[in-house]
A and B are shown apart, each in its own frame.
Chain A
Amino acid sequence: MSGFFLLFISCLSGAVQASAEELTVDLTSLSIEELMNIRVVSASRYEQPVSEAPSSVTVVTADEIKRYGHRTLADILKSIRGFSITYDRLYSYVEVRGLRNIGDWNSHILILVNGHRTNENVYDSSMIGNDFLLDVDLIDRVEIIRGPGSSLYGDNAFFAVINVITRNGRDLKGAEIAADAGSLNTFNGRMSYGKRFENGAEMLISGSVLDSQGNQKLYFREFDSPATNNGIAQDLDNENTDRFFSRFVYGDFALEGAYGGRIKKVPTASYGSVFNDPRYESLDGRSYLNLAYNHSFEEDLKIQSRLFYDWYWYHGDAPYKYNDSDPTVINKEIGKAQWWGAEAQVEKGFAQTHRLLAGADYQRTPEVLLQNYDMTPYLLYSDITNSFEKWAVFLQDEFRLMGSLLLNAGIRYDKYNTFGGTTNPRVGLNFIPREGTTIKLLYGKAFRAPNAYELYYDAPPSIPNPALRPERIRTVELVYEQSLMDKYLGTVSVFQNSITNLINRETDPSNDFLVYKNIDRITAKGIEVELERRLKNGWGGKFSYTFTKTRDDITGEDIVISPAHMAKVNLSFPVIRKNVFLGVEMQYKSRRETLTGQELPDYIITNLTLFGKELAKGIELSGSIYNVFDKKYSDPSSSGHTQSVIEQDGRGGRVKLAYRF
């Protein structure tokens, strides 16, 4: 903690110094290699300085991921201001600025890998745990763009857009092997090879395997009776993941192929299934091929286009006992889709005053399969196939009104074969009164289209509702950013998000059927502050605090499923010479309530990582302790659970070795 205070004191003294003498950024002390790695621009569908992006943006680099020992995208997002992650021992869920819908699978954020959508076309889910199709070691940086992004990206860009950018062949320059071993018998291995050839072509191929035994015993109070093993789920926390990623770049073309498959045992006996049955498991598979073509012409004209083919498949084996005297039957749930699409956009700058972006997206899903049946005796409950088609056009103009005033206005029209059309605008006014200070006034609308599962799922007791309308969100945000001595960045943000038409499952009291309906309206408002010190001279860190007030607009009552107060600290500094770093991470969440009104106390989680860079030629070694103080805490469960809370892991650790040659 004292280290953190030092950071602030040095910041304060820095502020005084800075006002005494005028400062400009001097990067001449950096080497050419370092200069080549500085990111000057970021965010949006084209590249621009963060201060000019019409959103509140955070960028996380590969270096930070290593320094804090982050194992998954979920770990990375836990350290991001305004983001909160919960886990129900099957999937991890994202809450953004006090908003999350219990009962969906991260369909309110859009996750892109090198610009390609990873949300799938059955349940709309975006996966952030070990089920994410990319090994975190392959990440070059993650751009987190808050607020509604539908004016550019369409569906799912509701709370935020997360663009994951991978490393390229040139970043590897040879082979890399990484292996780690962690608590709960978790082992992970990766082999990668990357190269940049004489003719400029680049290749990267990588494969990873993860095997985790998980908790041998998990106790759930709700099942504490002799008939259900006294509430203990034995050996039901296993997780296995296989991942493969490849990327080839030649000239203006980039071809990318990715595959991720994960099998996870389900210890929670969800959806009224039999408790402590080792056959309950879920498989998520996700794969895509993406061909991108980008070309820059003279006269500030650029085209970007892509063609992609995607796969997703889900298999769930759930044990059921329909009557106490019957034997247990395995009920199989299958959700499967393949889809393809094309996207193209043209960007043109006009005499430093206008930057125009126009584009079109098309996507077709020839078949979504939703199937549910008992295996023996075989009994089919649901076997539905549907096809989907959508297209969109969008336009954005960045207008430099004066040197210090930038207006960014965009609009996108999406047309679906299911519900029809939707138009989503966004306007951002960036005022830069002097270098280093930015004030952003942002307004935008976004939507989320009802997905195949919500529209058509038809296994009892669920019934379909093809009349579902898209969910809507309206956001107003005021952001103040102040950079200081090119190392510090202070951000203050005030925001309000209003959601209408939110889709949730409801039980029809007349017949007990479950059906998805556009029922809820929610408003969340709040304030967020952050101070970041960029990594420089080997050390850096950030502190953030988020306050949100979330209200159910129908009942007028506050919702505290997400914490009202969140605070986060990340600090990394060298401890031995200039290549061994200590990364300290602390995350605070205030009290929460479950769906049933049960109170969950506030807590702080502390993680420590010791990371050694180039210990010997090509060798990196890190050791992490997660939840150092072994804090016992629980997350509210999602829908479909008998448990209202799910207890989380206590203290754990990991040792990781990477070798480059």
Chain B
Amino acid sequence: MSRPAWRLSWWLIRAQFMTRRTATALSMLAIALGVALGYAIHLINTAALADFSQAMKSVQGEPDAVLAAKDNAGRVPLALINEIARDPAVAIVAPVIETRVRVDRTADYAADRTADHAAGRAAAPVKLIGLDIFSAAAVMPKLLPRQDSSGAGMFEDGVHASPALLSRLQLKVGAGVTLTRGDARWRTRIVGDLPAARPDDLLLVADIAWVQARFGPPDAVSEGRLRLMPGTRLASWLETWAGRLPAGLTLRAAADDTQRVSNISRAYRVNLNVLALVALLTGAFLVFATQLTAVAQRSTQFALLGVLGLSPRMRLLQVLFEGLAIGMPGAALGLALGYGLALAFTRVMGGDLGGGFFSGSTPVIEARLLPSLGFFALGCAASLAGALYPAWLNRVQPLAQALRTGFAQRPPAVHGLDARPRRSVLIAIALLALAALGLTRLPAFYELPLAGYGAIALVLVLGIAAAPPLTQIVFGAFARRALSAPQRVAVQNIVQAPLMAQVAASGLIVSFALTVSMVTMVSSFRLAVDQWLDAVLPAPLYVRSKGMPLPQELLAALEQGAAPFARIERTAHGALSLDPQRPAVVLLVRQMQRADAAARLPFTGPVVAVAADRVPVWISEPMQELYRLAPGRTLRLPLLGREVDTVIGGVWRDYSRQFGAVVIASDDYIALGGQFEVSDLALWPRRGEEAAAKAWLAAHAAGYGLDIAESSEIRAVSLSIFDKSFAVTYALEAAAMLIGLFGLAVTLAASVWLRARELATLSALGFDRAMLTRAVMFEGALIAGIGLGLGLACGVAIGAILTHVVNPQAFHWRMELTVPWLQVLLGAALTLVAGVIASRFAARLATRLPAAQVLASAQ
């Protein structure tokens, strides 16, 4: 494009912005909002992932491969470590014992526990890492300790604490501490710190021999972290060892761990990004409405420019440039807003966006050029997409006609249609519906519900595409009835100007569809969670430790008759690694009888009877989805250092553990040789002794850092977390509805402006202000009605896709579809009223038209 052409283009853009300030500013803001949300989510997630990965590396070091048990109760024999160390391809093996212990500040731990409890410093479990200093120096340098001035060595009895832990416990190097895990207790002292630990790492490091002596396991370690000789191909080396490992052990590439961290939160991140895209879509829609009305209003001007020699290509490009001129500052503003939002969010809330994957992290937000450019381009692309159809309409406007009579409502290709929709349009709509239905039948791609998202987009397109034929069918029939003069004017205008009606209605279709779908999905989910909580919280009281066995003192006291409980159910937690690419599955060892299973878990289908000589397990719904399992099938589990064949007795609903859980009866687990280390308790106080039971627990559990809660509290907290995690969707729904109503008002106003001569003629023929107002408001109500009707239909369809396709594929949760009709219809009625009020703005414009002046002017 030549410089003079740029100059003309710039004049027209500037003129457009000056004359349509509000619409342009709102379009820019909508684009900015979409970009800001997407960019902030990206920045927070990237920072949280990097932070998580760094935290993992700081503890795990940077090995090439990790040898570990698939079951977290399993162990790696030292003999195997030694055998691998002798492999010429292995440079070094660092044996590690990792466990969790409770730390009490003095050697007199009982007194300390009471004092800490009184001071509100109940000890939380921390990670204790036992390592061999020589191999650790090569593989895990960040865990190397600094010793105190007394010269106490790494090999002496003592632990090294991270600065964060020292600060939290208000201790200094040299202080005495007691470390407790279950029955095992180690009275020792802090002999140094860990200068290279990250600021938020709560860690203890000691010589592996000391840890092994105090907490076990004898002749075994938790993991072996390996470095290979330079030039060794990791994949082929892993393959050579895969067949030689004992059952229950796994040798994995360390890079898998980083990938697994990313996989954990991927579906959640994609879902958040789709929400941001919805915001961007509403921005693109506003650009569409703004540019279409701008093209309609300036059709005579563009026709004149065409007559004077502006090429058709330039008429198309001009509208696209105007779209870009909205998108570029909008996207730039969005980047700034997104960066600010990410900074503010991480300062206040840390790195977790609500999924719970990164809670407790404090990531550093870093803006990188390439992703920033990507989001900038996305904002521009959304704006361009919004301007595309108006630009094409501007390109095909017949110049002579547009110069004489203004905007042609239908492009030349569809001129000459009667009021009935063409068969080809109806066939296209039917094909779209079939395509959407087909997409809902497709499985997830890369474990993401991409086809489901595609189906949602198609349903929205379908809703907008169905607006003109539906308008023509409904109002074509309506127009043949006896109507008052204002009503006839309104109906005739809708029937004869379906494009403007489509633009006006499409905002409401999209926004109401999104609102109905989100309300439906959230309502279905909340009801399902509510019912699920009823099933999984049968006891009045719960006690939970944090990844450690419950203290023996407490368990022993519970056994005594003085404890005021009628019934106690014990549960132990473990983790089983079934696939190195996926997070571990939670193992729940529960005190229950096989026959009780149906009554004790919220099963989604029939419970299979398992032969007495087989081991039954009951898997959660996400586990069934992730590993494609079914009741009655044999499931080989890596339990207690070996592979154990179990039978799936049933599938139970679980909205808590997204990556799967498996329940095994404690008797079966013990029979397999496992140790039942209880970590959770469900307690039923004796009748009439509820208050005494709580007091008993408070007295016996004080200072252990345990969670004690009533079921009503857990239920309230769970539902509150649920509501908080969906709070952002309510804000988006409100923004979408405002944008939809704004689109209706702007388009109706543009329609009035375009029909100025017609309305002025009506005024001259005897339409008074009240009649004109009624005509325009009636038109607004009819368009809003069509928009809301289609929006409702699309919303229920999208709600069903979200509930039955997106949720199971992304999060592996299933639930029944519950449409909250009262809420939805009330929302529709309120929106209709708001739509009529919004159309009053256009009606006022109609009544203020200087009729005489309009009629006198040829244009």
> A and B from one assembly?
no
